[in-house]
Chain A
């Protein structure tokens, strides 16, 4: 089990050259934001360059109940946190489907493309879904062809793993493996070193003019 606080401590310790004392110039929340961003960036890079194998340790499972039904348009809406974007072929969704985890539903759209204008879509009787960014920053999953749907399961690599409902930073595993943790620590530490290092000023050097 890897916890978020453990990664924050490791980064702080690296920034202090391995000397572990409680004092630190860095705010924990700031480092956490950096960790989430580094995780998303590294997973996207792994999927693009390293054969797209998704380690299950990066994935979080979410059981969601329906948010609202639109009877006129016949879709059901579920709120869902944002997922990471990887490349033109994939994003962070690993499974969206039946609550038993065995029946994935088909996705309508991927990026720019939409097949809702194709007659194949009109003949579809299976449940299909789409991920939409609605007004007021509401990110939702919309399901068509079954207005009675109440529970679904989502398995995904979320942008910020701590924003999923009921996630407790102190007790829940942060979705990374040791390899990814190592790369996150390295990336964040390098970034913070670069930001905190100051250029040498001419006035303080001993070089004679």
Chain B
């Protein structure tokens, strides 16, 4: 399912406006996915990247790096020595002297994507992600929802997270 489906389900559950909350809910879905430490639904992928100024932009669906190799020779680069990753960019140590235009292969674990490179969220995660949004939303508006409602969402999120490990 798409990220929009999760946002729509959460907006309906919380009886709030989709368009007013869509951006924030997208941030929350990304937070929940990143903090969900499971490899269950991830698949091995690889992508060729071109280095410019010792940097390259990573694919949007990457979750965990398997290895980084040079395209022609299959030479391995070491994490934290040869390169570091900051947000969606891989940055190589300038001392290695990788020339602009060099092609590398980025092997990684990621979720499935559609033709527009948007991630496809596993159906089993819907309840977990909706509960996470519910928890954060009711915590923000705790005066309107009360402590009990917020804690219910928090418990549901934790239960669903365990169920999906």
Contacts and interface: CB of A to CB of B under 8 A. Distances in A.
Most A CB contacts (10 A, CB to CB) among B18, B20, B26, B60 go to B20
Interface of A: 48, 51-52, 87-90, 93-97, 104-108, 110, 113, 115, 118-121, 123-124, 128
Contacts of B26: 120
Given A90-B16, A90-B17, A121 B23 contact: yes
Contacts, number: 52
A128 B20 contact: no
Interface in B124-141: 141
B30 interface: yes
Chain B contact-residue range equals 10 to 19
Given A97-B19, A105-B19, A89 B24 contact: no
B87 interface: yes
Given A119-B87, A120-B30, A89 B16 contact: yes
Nearest to B16: A89
Nearest to B14: A89
B138 to A, nearest CB: 11
Is chain A's interface secondary structure helix, strand, loop, or mixed overall? mixed
Contacts of B88: 119
B73 interface: no
B24 to A, nearest CB: 6
Given A89-B141, A89-B144, A119-B87, A107 B16 contact: no
A106 B16 contact: no
A88 B141 contact: yes
B143 to A, nearest CB: 9
Q: Which 9 A-B pairs have the closest CB atoms?
A: A106-B22, A104-B19, A115-B23, A107-B19, A107-B20, A110-B20, A52-B15, A106-B19, A120-B26
Contact of A120 (B16, B17, B18, B27): B27
Is chain B's interface secondary structure helix, strand, loop, or mixed overall? helix
A52 B23 CA distance: 21
A90 B26 CA distance: 18
Given A90-B20, A106-B22, A106-B23, A51 B15 contact: yes
Contacts of B22: 106-107
B21 interface: yes
A115 B28 CA distance: 12
A93 B20 contact: yes
Interface in B16-61: 16-24, 26-27, 30, 60
Most B CB contacts (10 A, CB to CB) among A88, A107, A121, A123 go to A107
